[in-house]
Amino acid sequence: MNQLPYIYTFRKVLPCFLLLFVVFCLNACSISKIKEQIKVAEDIGAVKGKVNVENNQKGTVFVAILQQTGNTLTVRNRLMASAEGDYIFHVPPGDYLVGAFIDSNNDAVYTTGEHASFYGDPTKISVKPAQIVYLDAITISNKPLVLPENVTVEVDRRKILENIGRVVNLDDPMFNEEHYSTGLWEWVDFLQDVGGGLFLLEEYNKDKIPVLLIHGIGGGPHNWDKVIEGLDKDRFQPWVLYYPSGVRLDIVSDYVLRAITDLQKEHKFKQLYVVAHSMGGLVMRSFVKKYQEKHPEQFKSLKFAMTINSPMQGMASAEWGLSVGFLIIPSWRDVASNSTFIQDLHAWSWPKDIPYILAFSYKTGKSEDGVVTLQSQIPQNLQFEATKLYGFNASHGGVLSDGEFLARFKDIMSDSITR
C-alpha cells in the first residue's frame, strides 16, 4: 500500500501531532542522514542550452554532459535534444563539459566519423549549488571533433540510467516495499543501493501496446500488482517507472522523457499508454507536456492517459508542511497547492486528440479519499479536458485493488483499443 508522508495523510491541525511522532521515532543519526540527503537534493543545479546543426549529416542529435578526472572523461548523462535543439541536465554542483553529436548510425553512442562538437574548445562549466547555468548554442559543423590529448572516455554506470528498458520480474528484490520509504526520505541511498529505473516486465513485443505505470509518493511497482494482474497480456505489455519519490518532480519527468525517447528510438513503437496514481499524476502531466513540446513527432505515439486519485491541484497540507520547515522533502515543494510546478502544469492545456481518463475516489460521506480532496483530484479545468470521469467509493491507496475499479479499468482499456 502506498505510504504517504504526514502532510498527505492529515490536514490542518493533525500534521503537528504526527510530525512530533515522526521526530520521536527517528534517532539523531536518522534525522542527520535525512537532512544531509535533503541538502544534496536542494543543491542540484541545471545546465541548459541549445544545439545548432550546420551540416548535412543525418541522424538524431544527442547531447552529453561529462566530467573530467585526470585523463578520463566520464559521460554523466546523455539525452536526445528537442526538435528545436534544446536540452537540460540536472546536476550536482561541480565542473562539467557539454558536447553534442549527430547519431548517424542510430546506436545512440558517439562514434568516430559522426559530426560532433563541444561547448567551447571545450570549455569547463562550473555549476554552483542550486544554480541554473545557461549556455550559448553549440554548433555542430563539418569540423572533426577534437578530444583533449591522451583522454579516454567512459560512461557513468549509475543504475537508474542502466535500467532504462531493462527486463525484470516483479519478484526482483529491488521492488521490496521496504525500499519505497527509502526513496522518499533517503533518495541518495535509494539511487545507489536500489537504483530505480523504467522497467519492462516482459520482453518487448512490437504487437503489444506499452502501458507505463507511474506510482505516487512513497510508492513503488507493487502498488500496481492487481492492475498488472488484470491487464490483458495479449494486447498490452506493462512497463513500470520506479523512482525516488523524494526528489523534485521536474527531475523525475525529465528522466521519464529521456527514458521514453530512448526506448522509442530503440523499439520504434507507435502507441504508448500512460497510467498514473497519486503524485504520479503530476509526474505524468509534466512528462506529457514536455513530450509534446520537445519531441512533437515522437509524441504522436501517445494514445491514452489516465490519472487516478492524483492531487492535480496540489495539496494545501504540503504547503503547510513547507511553512513548518522541518525535514522538508524536496518533492513536497512541487506538490504544494500554490507551487510554481502546479501553476505551470495548469497553464498548459491537455492535447484534445489524446484520450484522458480522470479517475477519482472518495470515502463514504467525505469529500476526499482519505488523503486527497475531490477538489484537487478533479479540478474543473481538468474535468473539461478529460474524455471521461470515473468515481469510486474507495480509499486513496485501496482504489488500486478495489474490485469495482479493476473491473472498470479493464473495460476502459478494452474500449481504448476499439475506439
Task: Please give the mean pLDDT across all residues of the chain.
Answer: 91
CA-to-CA separations, 86 to 61, 282, 394, 398, in angstroms, rounded: 10, 23, 43, 41
Over residues 276-301, the mean pLDDT reads 98
Query: How many CA atoms are closer than 13 Å to the CA of 413, on its beta-carbon side?
Result: 26
Architecture in CATH for domain 159-418: 3-Layer(aba) Sandwich (3.40)
Q: Is the pLDDT of residue 1 over 50?
A: no
Q: Is the pLDDT of residue 242 over 70?
A: yes
Over residues 321-328, the mean pLDDT reads 76
**Strand pairing category for 272-277 and 209-214:** parallel
Any idea where the domains of the chain sit in the sequence? 47-155, 159-418
Report pLDDT for 27: 58
DSSP 24-70: HHS-HHHHHHHHHHHHHHHT-EEEEEEEEE-S---SEEEEEEEEEET
Over residues 57-74, the mean pLDDT reads 94
Residue keyed to cell 496540489: 314
Any idea which of 4-8, 111-115, 274-278, 283-287 has the lowest mean pLDDT? 4-8
Report pLDDT for 30: 80
Name the phi and psi angles at 307, rounded to 5: -115, 145
Higher pLDDT, 341 or 147: 341
Q: Is the pLDDT of residue 4 over 50?
A: no
Give percent of the chain with pLDDT exceeding 70.
92
255-267 tens-digit pLDDT: 999 999 999 999 9
Report pLDDT for 146: 74
The enclosing H or E element of 200 equals strand 197-200
Distance CA 298, CA 267 (A): 12
Q: Indicate the pLDDT class of residue 25, thresholds 50, 70 and 90.
A: low
Over residues 366-378, the mean pLDDT reads 96
Distance CA 239, CA 247 (A): 21
Q: What count of other Cβ atoms lies within 10 Å of the Cβ of residue 374?
A: 16
User: Domain 47-155, CATH 2.40.110.10 — does that match?
Assistant: no
Distance CA 178, CA 174 (A): 9
Over residues 129-144, the mean pLDDT reads 93
Over residues 176-195, the mean pLDDT reads 95
Report pLDDT for 331: 94
Report pLDDT for 14: 37
